[in-house]
Amino acid sequence: MSDPRHDALRRKRYEADDLVGDKYVLVRPLGEGGMGTVWVAQDQVLDVHVAIKLVALEAGDGGGQARRMLEEARTAARLVHAAIVRILDFGVTRLGDPYLAMELLHGEDLADLLARERCLPPLSAVSTLLPIAHALATAHEAGIIHRDVKPENIFLATTDVGIQPKLLDFGIARFTDRVQRLTLEGAVLGTPDYLAPEQARGQKVTPAADLWSFCVVLYELVAGVCPFQAPGYYELLQAIVENEPVSLAERGVDEPELWQILERGLSKQAPARYPSLRDLGQRLAEWALSRGLNEDVTGTSLRRTWLREADVAGHELPGAADGGTPIAVRVGAEAGGAAIPPVDLARIPQSAARVSFGDDEVPIHEALAALAAVSELGDPDDLFARVSRRRYRVVAAFLVAIVALGAALLLAEAGVLVGWACSHGGVGSPAAGVRALGRVTGGPRSGRDRAATVARAWQRARG
């Protein structure tokens, strides 16, 4: 455990107006992170504000924190994603402490939101965290494990177009294809509430650990508390390893389908969880779509992001309880471009709910009929692309014709075409040259100036 007096001394090592990395002027402290202090700084080169993360190394550290910071910079630099904070620069201060320069975000982290609101409606919670699921899936596919997914590391950035969740702090992330350990033997990195059982046991960490932590965060955002509770650190680790999570229903949240998704993600054994965060995200997107949510908190289409070239089968439509038969709806086109199969409208109960389109409501029969009609033409995106390509070809042909006609007129004005017609077409007189020129340009030539031009061209061709 760190000494508070030592922590205070570390904070005093840097003050406002200090110069970091020869171009960043510290403006004000922004907060304390898991590995250091974050400052607002002015980039003197670009004249913009950035966030500077500083770590004051402790005596006897042996460079471990510096290596972690370098690992964080290299890790984040490999990841280009809207829901991952951008690392702009890395260096060492005049005192020998490593620093990271990051994009400056405005907003609040998920921990602050939970402290204020306690919880969110299930649909809002899923909408908020789906971009983070996509970011983690992207990181895992690049061979990177975050290992510390928690509300403090999920920032809800305010942008000109709305909210953009951002995943922070890859400080204790590591590459799955590396064997280097940056932690002390036996040390555990991560917040206990969100640790996966294999992390609590000190076993090898895989992307399944991030999947577990993500499910814990989503559970807390929906229920207001974490799925495992204990009075102390070690008791909490034991509960995570041995106890079953408390269901959402026991927490007063009546969402059995959502609980089924979370329950699998909170399986004690990693192989029993979802194969990947992309699979988990797809299941959450399907659940949200079945509840009428079409976009995540950033306004991104759930179908385009999660269900492209995937099937959504077996969703029970509203009204099935009245004796109707659930039908399977295929979203998106097959990989080969086949259309969505027709829907048997006769099998849908007449008491089914209505679908909202803006301010209008349409019976679900009419909506599915429209979907079936569109599907007969193929994938709408492919249709739009084909129409656009056809339009571009027509415009290009028209422009080429205009340019060719203009060039022909200019050459005719200079007498070049008449001379060519006389020398290559067997023309023996200016009149014949005029007729040849007429065939090229589409009409006869007349006028004193044009006749003189033809005569000069004919003389050059003969002589």
Give me the residue label for tokens 């970091």: 20
> Are 165 and 299 contacting, i.e. CB atoms less than 8 angstroms apart?
no
Whole-angstrom Cα distance, residue 165 to residue 390? Answer: 39
Report the C-alpha gap between 105 and 51 in whole angstroms: 8
Interacting residues of 436 by C-beta distance below 8 A, sequence separation 6+? 418, 421, 422, 425, 427
Two tokens at 400? Answer: 């080429």
Contact 131, 298 (CB under 8 A): yes
Helix (H, G, I), strand (E, B) or coil at 108: strand
Q: Is 48 left (phi over 0), alpha (psi -120 to 50) or beta?
A: beta
**Of 201, 176, 186, nearest to 268 (Cα)?**
201
Contacts of 222 (CB under 8 A, 6+ apart): 119, 120, 122, 125, 248, 253, 255, 258
DSSP 48: E
Q: Where are the beta strands (DSSP E) in 168-322?
A: 174-175
Catalytic residue numbers read: 148
CA distance 457 to 449: 12
Place of tokens 């972690």: 68
Amino acid letter at 197? P
Where do runs of H (alpha helix) occur along 120-273? 122-141, 197-200, 207-223, 233-242, 256-265
User: Rounded to an integer, what distance in angstroms lies between the CA atom of residue 119 and that of residue 121?
Assistant: 7
Q: How far apart are the first and last CA of the chain?
A: 104
Q: Hey, which bits of 304-343 come out as E strands? A: none
Residue 104, helix vs strand vs coil: coil
Question: Which residues are 145's β-sheet partners?
Answer: 174
Q: Which of 69, 100, 95, 98 is nearest to 12 (CA)?
A: 95
Contact in structure between 222 and 122 (CB atoms under 8 Å): yes
Bridge partner residues of 167 (DSSP): 84, 154
CB neighbour list of residue 249: distance below 8 Å, 6 or more residues apart: 256, 259
